[in-house]
Amino acid sequence: MQHQPESPWTSGPALFSHACPLLFDGSFSANKHKPWIETEYQGIVMENDNTVLLNPPLFALDKDAPLHYAGEICGFRVHNGPGGSGSAQFEAVVLDRSTGEGLVRSKEPLDCESQKEHSFTIQAYDCGEGPDGTNSKKSHKATVHVRVNDVNEFSPVFVERRYEASVPEGRLFDRIVRVEAVDADCSPQYSQICFYDIITPNVPFTIDNDGNIKNTEPLDSKRQRVHSFWVTAFDCGKNRAQADAQVIVTVKPSCKPGWIGWTKRIEYTPGSGSIPLFPNLHLETCEETVWNIQATVELQTGHIGKGCDRDSYSDRSVRRLCGAVRGEVELLPPPSPATNWTAAVPTLPSSDSSLVFSFNGSTHVAVVPDSVASAVSGDHFTLQLWMRRGGASTQPPANQARGSRKEEETIICSTVKNDDSYSHYSLSVHGCRLSLFYWPDVSSARPVKFLWKLEQVCDSEWHHLSLSVQFPSVTLYVDGVTFDPALIHDNGAIPNPAPHQRLVIGACWEKPKDIVNNTMPETKDTGEVHTMFVGYKGLLSGVTVRPGNVEPHSVVECLYACREGLDFGDLETLGSGMKVHVNPSQSVLVLEGDDIESFNRAVQQVTYRNSLRFATPGVRPLKLTTSLRCFSEESCLSLRQLEGYLVVLQPDAPQISLSGVGPHLARPAAEFEGPQGVPLFPELRIVCSLSHRIIQSFSVSLLALMSDAVAHTLDGCEVQPLGEELNPEREELLVDMEALKERGLDIINTTAYIAITGAESISVYEDVLRSIRYRLAKGSARFERRFRLSCSEMNGRYTSNELTLEVNFLHSLDSLYHPSHLLASQQQFLHPSHHTGELSGHTLPNPHRNSVVPGAATVIIMVCVGFLVVMVILGVFRIRSIHRRSEGGGGGKEGSNQWDDSALTIIVNPMELWIHQMTPVMTNESSSRRREETPPPDATEPFNRTHILKHHPLI
């Protein structure tokens, strides 16, 4: 209620004690002073109360007191504060006018959650000079800060109504899952969650005040796979959560970090191209944080030839297939009468059919003849070889084995004479270094030494070396990769070779007498100084030198290229941060990345490829090594190495079929004695096909055997005389050497066989074999000669059928002395009528094709014997007939059924007997059918009909 000012007339005598006495005209004293209040107040108000407790309390003072009206406080006025909203929410009232005591209160309930603090200004004013408040005065403005105190009106609420987690069994965890609840109260006291509690009894879990749940004992997935329980939360005002939260923990079986989906055995069918090696493989880290993963896949193919599956042809054929320039000279050819300098060097079997020579550093050496060495002279040449240090070479003598690895081992040593000067070079190995000494002139005091430090020289594995010398530059390719040398000019005491031409494989000598029968004499401990360099200890194969321009890099890469190896499926699918690296031989593939999912996808893209149609079957060991790096190196995972193997299955064998020849060839002997002879295989046909299984899907799966013509490359054919070897004085086989040279084919022509080798197409081999002719010397014709032809591909791995040809020589009957009637019969035999189809496929001589007939002597003998047998049979029949007539009545005729054989004449065709001898024996089925069609005469019936033994147009 508003305080009504009292009447000055009823105020009592105290009013007159004021400093401003009343005027006699009845007016009050003047209001001289303004009210005074504090400049700033701090207030607190509860959410459920509207009274603001101020500090200090609100009192307004006036110096005009105790004057009535002028010394009293009539009210307080609230103004907007900095926020502009305080005046609308608060009001100030006067409790005592005389003392100036006031009260601040909110007009409506306050909400701490919406606004915690309020600010406004307040001003006091007095009652003025009279009851109407005239001339009232206002105090200065004071700032009031009001803080709204919170009331615990809200309960905690969980962020999620359900929490799920999965953990592996058998372990204790510091935290499995964390639950979280929030409170809407504004004060720290009531908005904070003071503690959580698991309200489900008898569970092996506990929860802390921060909501972290952990297990109190190791969990067992077999005993209980899923644990479900409830938790609640309390704020610091002890209000419980409105709704409890459910927690579900799934126990996983024990997690073992490592690769999952590893297949130990992988099968590869030749001709399949590329196949993924690990299509289902993925890495399990058991939630361990990994920031770097590196996996190395190794494919071991050292047991296959020289390190991998290459073209299974001879080194010379591979060079031709790679487009190498012709003219190379093979320094280690297969031992033969023409190449006997390799006979003293032991050879070892090789799965790729190449010839491997073993050197022991002492007694094994190959001295190339001067005739061959002179063909590779010059300062521009390319030296190529396959090398393997150590290997299966035999052990050197005990007095040389000691410390031999510390000395320089000479692989090849060459001194070539060029007019009046000599050039010399030697290729050697020393530890893990390869060196080439080169003297442009043996009289020079400064030979040049080219040195390479290579791990490939001392790792006891097969490596391909190609050394292109174009002095003064030298280029070295090791396994198709270029290596630059360090040039060293050596002024030391290097012994110059003796001025004589010499090319040696496996060692190097200065004096010719040191070499006896391609064998180095063993060194004796006599203190004698030898001029020999230490010999090479290891394996060599395919050592060739080609004089002239150096070999192109593309050719060198082709010579070494593996047809099988590791590869990556699609580089475009490689995830970010992933790296892949494959070594030159494609036997090692390295993957590196930082993301497990991307790494798993990359591992599944690793493939094995083999481009050979007839891949070498066998087992290829396979290894997978994994290295992990974690943020905590102490607890980082360590994975064991995985080992498996890739099995290359047996490829479908090609069927090489030779046809169109023989089996007989008959020509007049005069044609064989001509200058060109007679072609043996003029109509030869070679067909290669593959037999493979295919599956057709209808109502059922059917297996069918199909044979498709495919493009093949033969690598050799051989023509061999059967029986006695060729007599060089009487017979020979002629081959077009120019045609062979143009096609790059090699030939070995001996009296025992002719071998044509080199990788070429079937059509080329057909042309070459069709041109082979057989020639005889005058008067050397016999009655027959047999030859056998066979071909092969893949360096003899697959062979054809053996085609046998019998050659018959037709002799003229004028040169034979026989009775005239036999000669007439023979002439009739040599000129048959048109009924020559009874010769079982053989054709008599005509301008286009020669038939098959035996020699004249054989025909005459057969005719004579057959004629004699017939006459004896007729005589026996005649005697029996006469004897029978004499018993039946003195020889009288018994009607027309009696046979009068007095004038019987039987003509025997000599061709009959020859056909009987030459025609192949009929099968049992055809013989029985003929017997059924022609029944034999009844033995009990009187022999009263004329029996014709055989009909023939010549009778």
**The token pair that represents 946 in the structure block:** 């004329």
**Cα–Cα distance for residue pair 563/794, rounded to 1 Å:** 14
Instruction: Evaluate the omega torsion of the peptide bond into residue 663 and state whether it is cis, within 30 degrees of 0.
Output: yes
Report pLDDT for 592.
92
Taking alpha carbons only, the member of 626, 616, 651 closest to residue 302 is 616
**The token pair that represents 277 in the structure block:** 């090696």
Residues 6+ apart with CB under 8 A from 830: 813, 844, 845, 853
Q: Are 384 and 560 in contact (CB under 8 A)?
A: no
Give pLDDT tens digits for 197-216.
999 999 999 999 999 999 99
Give pLDDT tens digits for 901-928.
434 444 444 444 443 444 433 434 444 3
Residues 6+ apart with CB under 8 A from 49: none
DSSP 291: E
Query: For the whole prediction, is pTM greater than 0.85?
Result: no
Report pLDDT for 858.
64
**Cα–Cα distance for residue pair 544/386, rounded to 1 Å:** 10
Q: Please state, in angstroms and as integers, the Cα–Cα distance from residue 745 to each residue in 684, 687, 760, 788, following that order.
A: 19, 20, 8, 20
Does the CA dihedral 477-481-487-491 come out positive or negative?
Answer: negative
**Cα–Cα distance for residue pair 919/836, rounded to 1 Å:** 12
Angle at 586 between CA 583 and CA 591, to 5 degrees: 65
The secondary structure element, H or E, covering residue 886 is helix 856-887
Residue 94: count other Cβ atoms within 10 Å of its Cβ: 23
**The token pair that represents 120 in the structure block:** 């406004």
Report percent pLDDT > 90 for the chain. 21
Residue 778: count other Cβ atoms within 10 Å of its Cβ: 9
Give pLDDT tens digits for 754-810.
999 888 889 999 999 999 999 998 877 777 889 999 999 877 778 899 999 999 888
**Cα–Cα distance for residue pair 422/440, rounded to 1 Å:** 8
**Is the pLDDT confidence value at 16 over 90?**
no
Report percent pLDDT > 70 for the chain. 72
**Is the pLDDT confidence value at 649 over 60?**
yes
Under the banding of pLDDT at 50, 70 and 90, the label for residue 189 is: confident
Report pLDDT for 739.
86
**Cα–Cα distance for residue pair 908/947, rounded to 1 Å:** 13
Under the banding of pLDDT at 50, 70 and 90, the label for residue 247 is: very high
- E-strand stretches of 698-800: 701-709, 713-721, 731-734, 746-749, 754-761, 773-776, 784-793, 798-799
Residues 6+ apart with CB under 8 A from 804: 662, 663, 722, 786, 787, 788, 789
669 HSE (CA, 13 A, CB side) = 20
Report pLDDT for 621.
94
Least confident of 88-92, 217-221, 441-445: 441-445
Taking alpha carbons only, the member of 47, 176, 55, 165 closest to residue 106 is 47
Taking alpha carbons only, the member of 171, 133, 374, 378 closest to residue 254 is 171
Q: Are 292 and 592 in contact (CB under 8 A)?
A: yes
More confident residue, 86 or 306: 306
Residue 779: count other Cβ atoms within 10 Å of its Cβ: 8
* Local structure of 564: helix, strand or coil: strand
Report pLDDT for 444.
57
Instruction: Report which residue type is found at 288.
Output: E
| Mean pLDDT to the nearest integer, 725-749 | 88
Report pLDDT for 700.
32
More confident residue, 725 or 551: 725
Least confident of 24-28, 35-39, 622-626, 858-862: 24-28
**Size of the chain in residues:** 955
Per residue in 436-448, is it b (16+ CB within 10 Å) or e — as a string?
A: bbbbbebeeeebb
**Is the pLDDT confidence value at 936 over 60?**
no
More confident residue, 542 or 421: 542
Report pLDDT for 225.
93
More confident residue, 673 or 400: 673
More confident residue, 363 or 177: 177
Q: Are 502 and 489 in contact (CB under 8 A)?
A: no
| Mean pLDDT to the nearest integer, 85-101 | 81
Least confident of 128-142, 221-235, 434-448, 688-702: 688-702
Q: Are 522 and 362 in contact (CB under 8 A)?
A: yes
Instruction: Report which residue type is found at 204.
Output: P
Residues 6+ apart with CB under 8 A from 16: 22
**Is the pLDDT confidence value at 162 over 90?**
yes
Under the banding of pLDDT at 50, 70 and 90, the label for residue 590 is: very high
The secondary structure element, H or E, covering residue 881 is helix 856-887
**The token pair that represents 740 in the structure block:** 């062979």
Residue with tokens 């990769």: 481
**Cα–Cα distance for residue pair 232/237, rounded to 1 Å:** 15
* Local structure of 909: helix, strand or coil: coil
Taking alpha carbons only, the member of 846, 757, 852, 750 closest to residue 795 is 757
More confident residue, 344 or 890: 344
Instruction: Report which residue type is found at 213.
Output: I
Report pLDDT for 32.
79
Q: Please state, in angstroms and as integers, the Cα–Cα distance from residue 446 to each residue in 6, 441, 471, 853, following that order.
A: 138, 9, 14, 77
The secondary structure element, H or E, covering residue 830 is helix 820-830
Residues 6+ apart with CB under 8 A from 709: 687, 688, 689
Alpha helices in 280-413 (DSSP H): 315-321, 370-373, 398-401
Report pLDDT for 314.
63
Report pLDDT for 251.
93
Report pLDDT for 448.
82
* Local structure of 86: helix, strand or coil: helix
Mean pLDDT of all residues belonging to the chain: 75
Give pLDDT tens digits for 492-513.
555 555 556 788 898 886 544 4
Phi, psi of 717 (to 5 degrees): -140, 150
**Is the pLDDT confidence value at 822 over 80?**
no
Residues 6+ apart with CB under 8 A from 639: 257, 258, 259, 626, 628
**The token pair that represents 115 in the structure block:** 């606004």
Under the banding of pLDDT at 50, 70 and 90, the label for residue 662 is: confident
Residues forming a β-bridge with 275? 608
Instruction: Report which residue type is found at 668.
Output: P
Least confident of 164-168, 584-588, 821-825, 904-908: 821-825
* Local structure of 69: helix, strand or coil: coil
Least confident of 126-135, 262-271, 350-359, 842-851: 842-851
Taking alpha carbons only, the member of 556, 565, 411 closest to residue 480 is 556
More confident residue, 467 or 47: 467
More confident residue, 794 or 14: 794
Give pLDDT tens digits for 295-345.
999 998 877 777 777 766 666 667 777 777 677 788 888 888 878 888 889
Report pLDDT for 491.
54
Least confident of 467-481, 504-518, 590-604, 819-833: 819-833
**The token pair that represents 306 in the structure block:** 């020289």
**Is the pLDDT confidence value at 1 over 70?**
no
**Cα–Cα distance for residue pair 508/564, rounded to 1 Å:** 38
| Mean pLDDT to the nearest integer, 664-684 | 90
Q: Are 658 and 719 in contact (CB under 8 A)?
A: no
**Cα–Cα distance for residue pair 23/30, rounded to 1 Å:** 11
Residues 6+ apart with CB under 8 A from 567: 274, 582, 586, 589, 606, 607, 608, 609
Report pLDDT for 279.
92
Report pLDDT for 652.
82
**The token pair that represents 640 in the structure block:** 């064991």
Least confident of 88-92, 702-706, 908-912, 919-923: 702-706
Q: Are 163 and 181 in contact (CB under 8 A)?
A: no
**The token pair that represents 822 in the structure block:** 């036999």
Least confident of 130-134, 237-241, 703-707, 939-943: 703-707
**Is the pLDDT confidence value at 133 over 90?**
no
Q: Are 291 and 507 in contact (CB under 8 A)?
A: no
Look at strands 803-810 and 664-668 and give their pairing. parallel
Residues 6+ apart with CB under 8 A from 732: 726, 774, 775
Under the banding of pLDDT at 50, 70 and 90, the label for residue 658 is: very high
Under the banding of pLDDT at 50, 70 and 90, the label for residue 861 is: confident
**Is the pLDDT confidence value at 647 over 90?**
yes
**Is the pLDDT confidence value at 427 over 50?**
yes
